[in-house]
Amino acid sequence: MKKKLSVLIATSLSVVMLLTGCGSRSASKEATASAKGGTFKVGLEAGYAPFNWTQVDASNGGVKIEGGSEYAGGYDVEIAKKIAKDLGKELVIVKTEWDGLVPALNSGKIDAIIAGMSPTAKRKEVIDFSANYYKSDLVMVVKKGGKYDGVTSIKDFKGAKITAQLNTFHYSVIDQIEGVDKKTAMDNFPAMRVALESGMIDGYVSERPEGVSSESANKNFKMVEFKNGFTTSEEDTSIAVGVAKGSDLTEKINKTLAGISETERKTIMDAAIKNQPAAK
């Protein structure tokens, strides 16, 4: 019995060693393949046209959204494509609510946030940012032909029902309007457009590209640009790519962004405004 048992143990050990060796070789191959290619997972709302939006097909360069049948398009998506190409990785779009973007990044669910996000000091406490890839001024979106169509100063919005997106500096600057009726912040821009259309609000704070987008999407909307506008900082009105603290992606992303001229950025934004779905 002892002899048979020894043979059995030796045979078992041989099998284990063989399987372990195969596993190691397999893992090694997977690691090599990952290093050569892999994915670049980007988080965005897909609801902030013309920076990003949701569409039904791959037209105008749309990229399929992970886990669904819809596609994402817009300025952010085009920038993400360029970065993914330079990284030698497949771009994967992960549709994520605004408040979930930073947690998704820090948990490893996504590799970067490319979602029209400003590199504010508060955000820099928890994530890192690339160089800027866009800069824009603040505007107000109102009803065309309404009381606030054509105003030139934020002072003209005294008594107006104004809101902005939750957890953005857009919402905080509303406090600069004396006597404003500041309404509860909303989760996303589609919701604010519905609220404006219905009369729940008189206007919402946004950035110029989204304002132009709103006018294009709805003939009843008007973008108000100010002669005497909000007081903002450079970091507030700039937009950058968010990455995890200490990520080695920062330098690589900056290299890609440095290769995109201001003229090309304007061309990409103009195309995004033109191509946005009318309903978004």
223 three-state secondary structure = strand
Chain segment 114-126, per-residue pLDDT in tens: 999 999 999 999 9
In 3D space, the residue among 46, 105, 40 whose CA is nearest the CA of residue 75 turns out to be 46
Write out the residue limits of the CATH 3.40.190.10 domain(s) in the chain: 37-135+238-275, 138-224
User: What is the pTM assigned to this prediction?
Assistant: 0.76
Whether 214 contacts 221, CB under 8 Å: yes
Q: Which residues pair with 240 in a beta bridge?
A: 132
Burial of 73 (0-12, 13-18, 19+ CB in 10 A): buried
Whether 245 contacts 113, CB under 8 Å: no
What CATH number does domain 37-135+238-275 carry, 3.40.50.300, 3.40.190.10, 3.90.600.10, 3.90.1140.10? Answer: 3.40.190.10
Chain segment 36-81, per-residue pLDDT in tens: 579 999 999 999 999 999 999 999 999 999 999 999 999 999 999 9
Model confidence at 136, in pLDDT bands (50, 70, 90)?
A: confident
The identity of residue 5, as a single letter, is L
Q: How confident is the prediction for the chain on average, in pLDDT?
A: 88
Residue 180 sits at the vertex; the CA angle it makes with 176 and 181, to the nearest 5 degrees, is 135
Say yes or no to pLDDT of 139 above 70: yes
The identity of residue 126, as a single letter, is V
Whether 223 contacts 215, CB under 8 Å: yes
CATH topology (fold) of 138-224: D-Maltodextrin-Binding Protein; domain 2 (3.40.190)
The identity of residue 83, as a single letter, is I
Chain segment 219-234, per-residue pLDDT in tens: 999 999 998 899 999 8
